[in-house]
Amino acid sequence: MTTPTTPTGAADAELLARFRAGDAAALEPLFGRYEEPVFRFLFGVLRDHHAAEDALQETFVQAIRKADAVAPDTFRGWLFTIAYRQAMLLKRKAKRLPAQANDLALLELVGDEPADARLGVADDARHVRELLALLPDPQRAVISARVFDGLTFREVAAALGCPLNTALARMHDGLKRLRQLWEARRA
């Protein structure tokens, strides 16, 4: 089986290794390669253009969050698995009240368990908001634009006047720091 490559010849595994080593620019060609096929897959599952766009963005957020855990040779399948899960989550979230969905979205930033399975969702969401305020301004701005304003990464990058890969890297770094703060608070 061959590994997909970019026009410059970089394989998924190489791009993933570069990203893990701190090269945020490696995300752009990696996500660019999968944006269209994952979107088509999500549209097929959700049958709604806007919902598919939302699920695509959340797929990339989750991929950024968990990029250190994936085996490079299984990246494509792993990404489509995340996409399917995001589509199913989006279907469930559509049935919830908007205020509750915002709290649940916040809690999903810091934990791997489903947010709606937690007790004290409102208290936990308040704590996440407090921890969010401790992040550096650039990271907080990207996370807030994604979670509270519902902007896509391209819209976030345009609003903040930064390249797409910078917005993605800020999201990755911000989520990582937010999870560290969350775990330290719980210890």
CATH number of the structural domain spanning residue 2:
1.10.1740.10
The larger pLDDT score, comparing residue 72 to residue 7, is at 72
Same domain, 89 and 141: no
Asked whether residue 92 carries a pLDDT value surpassing 60, the answer given is yes
Same domain, 81 and 162: no
Residue-wise pLDDT tens digits, 100-147: 445 666 666 666 555 444 455 667 778 888 888 899 999 999 988 887
Same domain, 81 and 106: no
3-state secondary structure (DSSP) of residue 116:
helix
Same domain, 13 and 88: yes
Same domain, 41 and 89: yes
Question: Which of 46, 71, 95 is a domain's end point?
Answer: 95
Whole-number Cα distances in Å, 91 to 54, 96, 115, 141, 175: 11, 10, 15, 27, 24
Return the axis-axis angle of helices 137-147 and 121-132, rounded to nearest 10°: 140
What is the reported pLDDT for 120? 58
Write out the residue range of the structural domain in which residue 22 sits: 1-95
Domain count of the fold of the chain: 2
Query: pLDDT above 90 covers what percent of the chain?
Result: 17
Residue pair 16/3 in contact (Cβ under 8 Å)? The answer is no
- What secondary structure letter does DSSP report for 11? B
Task: Residue 153: give its domain's CATH number.
Answer: 1.10.10.10
Q: What is the mean pLDDT of residues 8-22?
A: 81
Same domain, 34 and 89: yes
Question: Which of 95, 121, 154 is a domain's end point?
Answer: 95
C-alpha–C-alpha distance, residues 48 and 8, integer Å: 34
User: Side chain identity at 40, as an amino acid letter?
Assistant: R
Residue-wise pLDDT tens digits, 166-181: 888 888 888 888 888 8
Question: Which of 72, 95, 118 is a domain's end point?
Answer: 95
Same domain, 89 and 103: no
Asked whether residue 84 carries a pLDDT value surpassing 90, the answer given is yes
C-alpha–C-alpha distance, residues 179 and 181, integer Å: 5
10 Å Cβ neighbour count for 170?
A: 24
Q: What's the distance, CA 6 to chain centroid?
A: 22
Same domain, 90 and 18: yes
